[in-house]
């Protein structure tokens, strides 16, 4: 694609001019497409003066840390530090039920970890990192301040956007936002010409607070997170096997904080209920629930109950947005 090749070269030049030949740049990778593409672009411009961090908050999906780290390192060759902060996040979330409270805690912990990362780096380098990369897209920019008319060359309104839970405000870092004039499909195109794997570029969106908004109630209760990860993996893998992944905007499982009676073998059980959610959408603002075939749902539900201890009931969410949101929280 010629246009994207031009965008790529132009952006690399802009970043080189901005950062110069001495300064260092930091970037928080969320595991999503935008931060990965933004970081890859900056890495092409300034090499290993880019320092990325990926935080495992204990709220990631099945094998997600291993999977995204492999993409960052093997496919994208990004210099990235992985911080396992599972204990730190989960201990703060213990007993917390209110979804907004969960979001605040997660945002705050993330800032602490990011701050530590920047300070460690400062010690190592003997000077402060000077720039921060963010994967802000054009819709984020217009959302924060709609430009007069709608000329897309308008680029002066920058929102302090946070893809990964908000960032320290007193760090005095200059922002690099190489994607801020692009739409999502253009970011994917840009990723493609930089050899970001197709499967990574097509991944369904995943919320910053992760599985904390998909375990209703206390996320640390019992083995809710583990059960949810396994159920979710069966659901997603079944969707992939059926060739449906790319026709769906987002699909996931939700762990409900209730139990219901069931019968397995000749035993009465009193076990967990999980919900399956799949929607089609253009932009996440509105969404339609996805209608699977009877056999698909039957197979998935059987597989979940047969292979995951502690689950005896599977329900499907058949509401659109509105009136529901996509996530349950
Ligand atoms: P709702 O649930 O509001 O979600 O219909 C709309 C879309 O946004 C995603 N979502 C988030 N993404 N950080 C994110 O990066 C968040 O805190 C967050 N909350 C919801 C959701 O998965 C859906 O795609």
Q: Is 284 in the pocket of ligand 1 (CB under 6 A)?
A: yes
Query: Between helices 2-19 and 184-193, what is the axis angle to 10°?
Result: 80
Q: Does domain 214-316 have CATH number 1.10.287.70?
A: no
What is the spatial distance between Cα 247 and Cα 107, in angstroms, rounded to a whole number?
Answer: 32
Does the pLDDT at position 158 exceed 50? no
b/e for 311-324, b at 16 or more Cβ within 10 A? bbbbeebeebbeee
- Express each pLDDT in 210-265 by its tens digit: 999 999 999 999 999 999 999 999 999 999 999 999 999 999 999 999 999 999 88
Q: Which atom of ligand 1 is nearest to the CA of 204?
A: 24
Overall average pLDDT of the 131-144 stretch: 88
**Number of Cβ atoms within 10 Å of the Cβ of 54:** 23
End-to-end CA distance of the chain: 40
Q: Is 208 in the pocket of ligand 1 (CB under 6 A)?
A: yes
Instruction: Find out whether the peptide bond into 31 is cis, omega within 30 degrees of 0.
Output: no
Q: Is 301 in the pocket of ligand 1 (CB under 6 A)?
A: no
Helix (H, G, I), strand (E, B) or coil at 260: strand
Does the pLDDT at position 156 exceed 90? no
**Helices H, strands E: what count in the chain?**
10, 9
**Number of Cβ atoms within 10 Å of the Cβ of 121:** 17
Take atom 7 of ligand 1 and give the residue whose Cα is closest: 284
Which residue in 212, 246, 103, 217 sits closest to 166, CA to CA? 103
C-alpha distances out from residue 239 to 161, 236, 297, Å: 32, 5, 10
Residue 261, C-beta contacts closer than 8 angstroms, at least 6 positions apart: 268, 269, 270, 312
User: What pTM was computed for the model?
Assistant: 0.91
pLDDT band at 165 (very low <50, low <70, confident <90, very high): very low
Which residue in 277, 297, 298 sits closest to 288, CA to CA? 277
Q: Please enumerate, by residue number, every residue annotated as part of a binding site for ATP.
A: 30-36
- What separation in Å is there between the alpha carbon of 60 and the centre of ligand 1? 15
What's the fold here for domain 2-201? Answer: Rossmann fold (3.40.50)
pLDDT at 261: 98
Take atom 19 of ligand 1 and give the residue whose Cα is closest: 207
- What separation in Å is there between the alpha carbon of 203 and the centre of ligand 1? 14
Which residue in 22, 73, 77, 75 sits closest to 49, CA to CA? 22
Helix (H, G, I), strand (E, B) or coil at 273: strand
38 contacts 14 by C-beta, under 8 angstroms? no
The alpha carbon of residue 292 and the mean position of all alpha carbons in its chain are separated, in whole angstroms, by 25
Overall average pLDDT of the 78-105 stretch: 98
pLDDT at 172: 80
Domain ranges of the chain: 2-201, 214-316
Rounded (5°) CA angle 262-267-271: 40
**Number of Cβ atoms within 10 Å of the Cβ of 184:** 16
Residue of 101, 108, 209, 284 with the most ligand 1 atoms within 8 Å of its CB, for mutation: 284
275 contacts 300 by C-beta, under 8 angstroms? no
Q: Please enumerate, by residue number, every residue annotated as part of a binding site.
A: 30-36
Rounded (5°) CA angle 244-249-253: 80
């Amino acid at each position: 694609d010629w246009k994207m090749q031009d965008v790529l070269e132009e952006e690399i030049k802009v970043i080189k001019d901005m950062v110069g030949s001495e300064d260092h740049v930091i970037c928080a990778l969320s595991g999503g497409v935008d931060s990965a593409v933004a970081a890859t672009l900056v890495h092409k411009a300034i090499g290993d003066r880019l320092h990325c961090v990926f935080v495992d908050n204990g709220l990631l999906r099945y094998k997600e840390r291993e999977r995204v780290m492999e993409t960052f390192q093997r496919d994208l060759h990004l210099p990235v530090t992985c911080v396992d902060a599972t204990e730190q996040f989960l201990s703060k979330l213990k007993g917390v039920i209110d979804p907004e409270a969960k979001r605040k805690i997660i945002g705050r912990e993330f800032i602490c970890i990011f701050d530590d990362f920047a300070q460690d780096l400062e010690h190592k380098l003997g000077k402060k990192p000077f720039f921060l990369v963010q994967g802000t897209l054009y819709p984020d920019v217009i959302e924060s301040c709609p430009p007069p008319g709608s000329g897309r060359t308008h680029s002066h309104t920058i929102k302090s956007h946070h893809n990964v839970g908000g960032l320290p405000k007193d760090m005095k870092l200059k922002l690099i936002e190489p994607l801020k004039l692009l739409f999502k499909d253009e970011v994917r195109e840009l990723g493609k010409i930089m050899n970001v794997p197709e499967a990574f570029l097509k991944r369904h969106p995943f919320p910053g607070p992760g599985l904390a908004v998909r375990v209703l109630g206390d996320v640390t209760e019992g083995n809710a997170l583990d059960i949810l990860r396994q159920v979710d993996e069966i659901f997603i893998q079944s969707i992939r096997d059926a060739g449906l992944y790319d026709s769906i905007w987002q699909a996931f499982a939700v762990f409900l904080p209730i139990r219901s009676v069931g019968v397995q073998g000749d035993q009465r059980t009193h076990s967990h209920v999980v919900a399956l959610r799949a929607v089609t959408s253009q932009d996440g603002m509105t969404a339609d629930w996805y209608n699977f075939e009877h056999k698909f749902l039957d197979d998935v539900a059987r597989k979940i109950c047969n292979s995951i201890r502690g689950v005896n009931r599977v329900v499907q969410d058949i509401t659109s947005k509105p009136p529901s949101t996509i996530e349950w929280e």
